[in-house]
Amino acid sequence: MIISLLYVVESANFVWIKGQLDMTDGNLSSHLGKLESAGYVTVEKSIKNKKTNTLLKLSEGGRKAFEEYRKKLTQILSSTNK
């Protein structure tokens, strides 16, 4: 779900994604760590109004992987509708 959200926006902050997916901080952080390690997501941290702001972006590799996933899923779904 994280990748599908990031696919349709240029970037999003941690709080927005957390709210959209109704995840805890720890759960989202864990998933993001794995996606970042895989090279699918980039994480940029900065300080804004004395608070940490975490900006997330889908990498080019993440975008390509999601497009392949969508293509394969579409093929599977279309073959089961016969």
Domains of the chain, with CATH numbers? Answer: 2-80 (1.10.10.10)
Instruction: Output the pTM of the full model.
Output: 0.83
What pLDDT score does 80 carry? 78
Spatial distance between the Cα atoms of 8 and 51, rounded to a whole number of angstroms: 26
* pLDDT tens digits, 31-72: 999 999 999 999 999 998 898 899 999 999 999 999 999 999
Tokens read off for 35: 């996606």
Is residue 82 predicted with pLDDT exceeding 80? no
Based on its alpha-carbon atoms, the radius of gyration of the chain, rounded to whole angstroms, reads: 15
Q: Say if CB 41 and CB 62 are below 8 A apart.
A: yes
Q: Label residue 81 by pLDDT band (50, 70, 90).
A: low
Single-letter residue type at 80:
T
27-62 CB burial, b ≥16 within 10 A, e <16:
ebeebbeebeeeebbbeeeeeeeeeeebebbbbeeb
What pLDDT score does 48 carry? 85
